[in-house]
A = this chain, B = another copy of it.
């Protein structure tokens, strides 16, 4: 079969439309751009609807692996010209492979985690890049699942996929309301630690060895009042300098790694 060379090819145009959130949500599909991300998605069992590849751009190990693996994926894999690939790919990313995948969806009541798990809850996260960065740290620290509560971005936004380095596919992730998340955690006996700039207790003074939920708020407004009350302990990170806040992904990583230190 000849490579697709026309930017007006309907398959290409349909894939490009998936850059639009509304279209992704209508279709239940997302774009997976980047060889490492696509490889991790396949390893995690994500179902591909179709794939595009441009052999001359496939330079890295992951891209070459995918070139060999795509024919076995049971979905159409379209060879495209460099110009078409550059239209499909995001920004500077031209790693030669791009997948259109069914968006994995998991409900809170489908979540299955060990009884003593560490869980992360992100409330009201707005920036896909922050979501992805938190997923990357969660992956590193043995977090069992990430709950996106009252999210303000779509979970499988291509920028979230990219910032997560593809860990968004291997990590159990689900969406719900903050109230649902709190009830779910509370009924399962989780210790719930909410990161707040004015938290009463330093984060190193709480015990994260049992079932532990670490709850992080929106980039600008922090956590809602759902996370105030006797079921939730507000913890703070020391801030010794002139600035009064830390980046969301930095706060998440420090809390996850402290919990891991205690749990090991």
Contacts and interface: CB of A to CB of B under 8 A. Distances in A.
For A165, A237, A254, which residue has the most chain B Cβ atoms within 10 angstroms? A254
B204 A246 contact: no
Interface stretch (A66-74, A78-86, A88-96, A131-139): A131-139
8 contacts: A137-B250, A138-B241, A139-B241, A140-B239, A167-B242, A167-B243, A204-B261, A253-B254
For A43, A142, A257, which residue has the most chain B Cβ atoms within 10 angstroms? A257
A127 to B, nearest CB: 14
A141 interface: yes
A56 to B, nearest CB: 23
B237 A140 contact: yes
Complex copy number for this chain: 2
Contacts of A40: 242
Interface string A193-237: 000000000001000000000000000000000000000000001
A136 to B, nearest CB: 6
A235 to B, nearest CB: 13
Contact of A243 (B136, B142, B238): B136
A257 B258 contact: yes
A247 interface: yes
What band does the interface of chain A fall in when counting residues whose beta carbon is under 8 Å from B?
20 to 34
A43 B243 CA distance: 12
A191 interface: no
A243 to B, nearest CB: 5
A242 B141 contact: no
A153 interface: no
A134 to B, nearest CB: 10
A14 to B, nearest CB: 30
Given A137-B246, A246-B137, A247-B133, A142 B241 contact: yes
Given A40-B242, A254-B253, A261-B204, A136 B247 contact: yes
A140 B242 CA distance: 8
